[in-house]
Amino acid sequence: MYQAPRGTADILPQEQAYWRYVEEKAARICQLYGYERIDFPAFEDAGLFHRSVGEGTDVVDKEMYTFEDRGGSHLALVPEGTASVCRAYVQHGLHNLQQPVKLYYFTSVFRYDRPQAGRYRQHHQFGYEAIGDADPALDAEVIDMAWQFYRSLGLTRLALHLNSIGCKACRPNYLTVLKEYYAKQGGQLCPDCNTRAARNTLRLLDCKKQSCQTIAAAAPKSIDFLCADCAEHFNLLQKYLGLLSIPFALNHRLVRGLDYYARTVFEIQPEEEGGQSTLGGGGRYDGLIEELGGNPTPAIGMATGMERIIINLKKYNISVPPLPGTRVFLAYLGDEARNEIIKLGSMLRQSGIEVIEAFGSKSLKGQMRHANTLGVRYAVIIGDDEVKNGTAVFRDMTSAQQETVSLARLPELLK
């Protein structure tokens, strides 16, 4: 028997109400903040991610699904959405529009991760990007939008972690000091951190191993090495978050796993959980558009995992509205009635009424049982007598009351 590949999942009908709920809240929040939808391909030139997410990151080095297609192109299933949105921004000359350009997306994301609760090889993200403005008020708005989005879902016990990792001008100084600090730790780092130490020193700060965490806690902080512009940017962001009454914790170990970030980085987590449970995260990536061949263009965005949101909705017993069901079930007895039902089903659907028809040779009792399990509001039953008289039995499934009505009246009754 075939199984869905490890780390992937089917989303069965009984789960869909959660997905629809989250998607609708996401689309609404985007409308409230002036974002427009963009969709991009499920695969891209693999080079796009080497360029943006970065060589030496886990996402590119260890987790990317790459393949050569039959034409010899080197492609990758998208391991995140930001690079694709920026590629589209440059490709379609979106710098010609009023800036910032605000775009949101839902996408499948593919990462060859070690599957565990809340961690999959194919997951789904809702993300949004605001491209073309460096104002820290935009950073505050992007964070506020995430905060209000989670609130609108009913997720309120959240913690916002915030950091600034500086820009091209000031980060090199910080990295020098950080490297010196780590060089002094000798053999105490885990093997992963030892290999990362030279290539991606920032990532040592967010190693999950307990021994490395102790070392990271005492490490120099990026915010102490910010240039004047970055420091002012970060101060203003904190002031604006204050104006918005959004509580945050400065977390100097928050660096994020993707290379394109500059200045603001943030993550939102459920209050009482650890690192694996991050609901969403993002930050500024002021150099990325230029890296991809566009003009120098500041930008910021964020993405959140749909599966992790749904896990939290369930954990906190947040009920979601059921999806609209089917209004009517059509049951029949006999061949003539069968013909009537086929015509009636088509007619009702064309008047905008949702219909499920009985098929096969089930008894009337069996058909009614079927209607009951479907949870339909009404059933329409046609037998030989009804065929002769041009009528149908119209049954309210909740009250179990029924009456005989003319076929012509049915659309009006059902509406």
Determine the Cα–Cα distance for residues 140 and 160; give it in Å rounded to an integer.
12
CB of 236 to ligand HAM, least distance (A): 20
Q: By C-beta, is 47 or 325 nearer to ligand HAM? A: 47
Hey, is 267 helix, strand or coil? strand
Residue 328 tokens, joined? 């009517």
Determine the Cα–Cα distance for residues 202 and 180; give it in Å rounded to an integer.
12
Determine the Cα–Cα distance for residues 102 and 99; give it in Å rounded to an integer.
8
Phi/psi at 253 (nearest 5 deg)? -95, 0
Q: By C-beta, is 177 or 318 nearer to ligand HAM? A: 318
Q: By C-beta, is 267 or 357 nearer to ligand HAM? A: 267
Which amino acid makes up residue 388?
A: K
Residue 107 tokens, joined? 């996408």
CB of 384 to ligand HAM, least distance (A): 57
Determine the Cα–Cα distance for residues 93 and 297; give it in Å rounded to an integer.
12
Q: By C-beta, is 279 or 371 nearer to ligand HAM? A: 279
CB of 123 to ligand HAM, least distance (A): 3
Determine the Cα–Cα distance for residues 234 and 335; give it in Å rounded to an integer.
75
CB of 261 to ligand HAM, least distance (A): 7
Q: Which residues bind ligand HAM (CB under 6 A)?
A: 80-82, 111, 113, 118-120, 123, 125, 127, 129, 257-258, 278-283, 301-305, 307-308
Q: By C-beta, is 60 or 170 nearer to ligand HAM? A: 60
Hey, is 386 helix, strand or coil? helix
Looking up tokens 């059921």 gives 322
**Is residue 246 within 8 Å of residue 144, measured between CB atoms?**
yes
Determine the Cα–Cα distance for residues 238 and 161; give it in Å rounded to an integer.
12
Among 374, 384, 366, smallest CA distance to 329 is for 374
Q: By C-beta, is 193 or 279 nearer to ligand HAM? A: 279
CB of 114 to ligand HAM, least distance (A): 9
CB of 159 to ligand HAM, least distance (A): 13
CB of 180 to ligand HAM, least distance (A): 29
Q: By C-beta, is 277 or 402 nearer to ligand HAM? A: 277
